[in-house]
Amino acid sequence: MAGILSGMLQADFDTEILPQGNTRPVMRYQEEASFVRCLAHILNLIVKEFLATLKASNAAADSLIVEDLQNNLSLAEPHSAFSRVRILALYVSASSARKKEWRDLCQIKGMNSKLIQYDRWNSAYRMLNDAWNVCV
C-alpha cells in the first residue's frame, strides 16, 4: 500500500529545468484546478476494502434484508457480526418510532445517537462501538 501511495504522490511532480541546467522536482498543483484526495476519503476506501475482505455484506444487500425484516423478524441466513449490526442500524433508521427509542436508549447510556453514514470512514467503527456499549 505504501508503494501505491508513493507512486500517487510522485505522479504529481514534474521536473523543472533551472537556468543553470540543473533540475528539481516541482509539484503540479494548480490550486482549485487540482484534485487532491482527502485523507478521510482514502481511509474510507481502505475501510470498505477491509470490510469486503472480511466478507461483510454491502449496504445494498443489507437494505434488502431490512425490507424483509419489516414482514418477518428473523434473519433467514447467517451473516457476519458487522452485517448484523449494520442491519440493526438500518432497521432502526427505517422507522421514526424506532429512531426515537434508539435516541432514548442512547441518552440513558450517555452515547451519541447518530446512525451509520456510509461516506464516513469512522461511521463503521462508531456503529460497532455503539453496539458494543449498548450490549455491555
Q: What is the pLDDT of residue 40?
A: 74
50 within a domain of the structure (yes/no):
no
7 within a domain of the structure (yes/no):
no
Query: Mean pLDDT over residues 72-93, rounded?
Result: 72
3 within a domain of the structure (yes/no):
no
Cα separation, 29 vs 16, whole angstroms: 13
Domain count, the chain: 1
46 pLDDT above the threshold of 70: yes
Q: What is the pLDDT of residue 1?
A: 59
20 within a domain of the structure (yes/no):
no
Can you read off the three cell numbers belonging to residue 38?
Answer: 482527502
Q: What is the pLDDT of residue 30?
A: 61
- Band of residue 127 on the pLDDT scale cut at 50, 70, 90: confident
Q: What is the pLDDT of residue 94?
A: 79
110 within a domain of the structure (yes/no):
yes
**Residue 34 DSSP one-character state:** S
Quote the Cα angle for 54-56-57, to 5°. Answer: 145
Q: 8-29: per-residue pLDDT in tens?
A: 555 555 555 555 666 655 556 6
Query: Mean pLDDT over residues 46-73, rounded?
Result: 69
Query: Mean pLDDT over residues 19-40, rounded?
Result: 63
46 within a domain of the structure (yes/no):
no
9 within a domain of the structure (yes/no):
no
Q: What is the pLDDT of residue 86?
A: 75
131 within a domain of the structure (yes/no):
yes
Domain coverage including residue 88: 56-135
